[in-house]
Structure 1
Amino acid sequence: MVQDSEAEILVIARVMHEAVRAFQAAHNQEAIPHWKKAPNWMKKASVEGARFRIENPDASESAQHDQWMQEKKDNGWVYGPIKDQKAKTHPLLIPYKELPLIERQKDALVAGIITALTKAL
């Protein structure tokens, strides 16, 4: 998709969000809420992640993680040992190479889903 409509990006973001939710549940992680119950900031982050991958299809997973971290930091989030949306702390606000393998696998899943859906729409 050279010119992606906002509606198409939203569909891709929603599918990616639900895939992450399923991945987390399958790996006994606390799963993010269903798209319909997700807070607006979470949906916006999914949309921005999808938009980044669409606009940068050859970007590495580490670049995708860097985009996610920057989006978080721009919205006041900081590193913290637990994810706390009220305090805006997140344990994954660390360099990509320091992420646990399971998180790097999740990043690869996100990139693959966005790329596949971009080609399908």
Structure 2
Amino acid sequence: MVAVEDIARIAFTADRELQLVTQDPDPCPPWDEAEPSVRQVTICGVRHIQEGYSPQEQHQMWRDLREEHGWKHGPVKDENAKTDPLLVPYSKLHPRLRLRNDLFGAIVTVLSREA
């Protein structure tokens, strides 16, 4: 089995590449440039998927964490104002954004299989 940290790096990088291909206006930074807290949340996300959490549950946990740190829904992602347009229920996410969750989950699932 691939180490959790390596799965997180691979899934994060694939998510970033999808953001670039779909011309996301605010793509994630490369893994090595991401804040330690972002990398840690990604690692936790891998563990949650390995435990069977659904994409909807994953998104809700991410929302809860953001909101606990003072983030609010807003029209654009703004680190200083702590606003993010993704702070909505999973069902209200654009299909392109749900695709990111599906891709992340699929990578985690495949890489978590026993060899």
Same fold (TM over 0.5): yes
Instruction: Name the counterpart of 1:107.
Output: 101
Aligned residue-pair number: 114
Q: Give yes or no for the alignment of 1:81 onto 2:68.
A: no
Give unpaired runs (5+ residues) of structure 1: 2-6
Q: Which runs of 5+ in 2 are unaligned?
A: none
Q: Distance in 1 between matches of 2:96 and 2:114?
A: 27
TM-score normalized by the length of structure 1? 0.84
Partner residue, 2:3: 8
Conservation of the 8 A alpha-carbon contact between 1:21 and 1:34: yes
Q: Counterparts in 2 of 1:1-121, with a 5 A limit?
A: 8-29=3-24, 30-55=26-51, 57=52, 59-120=53-114
**TM-score (norm. length: structure 2):** 0.88
Amino acid at match of 2:42: S
C-alpha distance after superposition, 1:1-51 (max 9, x if no partner): 7xxxxx922111111110110000010113211011111221122112112
Report the aligned-residue RMSD. Answer: 1.8
Point out 4+ residue stretches in structure 1 off by more than 2 angstroms: none
Identity among equivalent positions (%) equals: 32
